[in-house]
Amino acid sequence: MIRKMLMAAVLVACSATIATAAPTITAGNHQLLPNTSGQVISILASGDFLADALAGVDLFLVIGGGTEGPMVTNLDLIGAGTIFAASNTGQQDFGAPYIPPSREIVGITTTVSGTVNPNGVLAYLTLDTTGLAAGDYTLSLTSDLIGPSVLYSAGAAPTVLINGTLSVVPEPSSVVLGLFGIAGVAAIAIRRRRIG
């Protein structure tokens, strides 16, 4: 009897998990170097292999509210390593100002036929931090002007969006060099006090 109750509980838990599954886009939290172009990060998609198989995507990305932070110099939804690489109708955009270089980017594609696995790299973003000091910037999957990103899945479940951040951080060697500089200035100040 206990075994049957346990089995029933497991089945209910599994069916509840399946019922709440939804296609998801995860922007991720990424560290970038300052004053560096050509830095590539990935935006990920996930979902149930069957229920959330994908037929297309409308990807809307906004960095730093569209006014501050790294510039996107390239968005790749269909290249090697992306989930739409094997089946796509090409990558479209909304034109200026939603094309690189910009902080507000749009990329759209659909499959030629059928669906693709919803798990993997949805897009690669190439970023440029030239002229940026260290700091954190939002990486949003929703545009105030256009709306939220959407994954078109077989199950037609609403897309779950998980925003992220872009952290521009100095190289460790720069930090160490800066600390040595501060230590040198402090040593000179201490020496002058002792002499004076």
pLDDT at 17 (0 to 100): 41
Sign of the four-CA dihedral 105, 136, 27, 44: positive
User: pLDDT (tens digit, 9 = 90+) per residue, 158-183?
Assistant: 999 999 999 999 976 544 445 556 66
Res. 98: pLDDT tops 60: yes
Q: How far apart are CA 22 and CA 54, in angstroms?
A: 11
CA distances from 187 to 47, 78, 180, 181, 195 (A): 57, 56, 10, 10, 12
Q: How far apart are CA 4 and CA 7, in angstroms?
A: 5
* Overall average pLDDT of the 22-32 stretch: 97
Q: Please, which pLDDT band fits residue 191 given cuts at 50, 70 and 90?
A: low
pLDDT at 154 (0 to 100): 85
pLDDT at 16 (0 to 100): 41
Q: Could you give the domains of the chain?
A: 23-187 (2.60.40.680)
Q: Report helix, strand or coil for 56.
A: strand
pLDDT at 165 (0 to 100): 98
Q: Please, which pLDDT band fits residue 193 given cuts at 50, 70 and 90?
A: low
pLDDT at 156 (0 to 100): 84
pLDDT at 18 (0 to 100): 44
User: pLDDT (tens digit, 9 = 90+) per residue, 114-133?
Assistant: 999 999 999 999 999 999 98
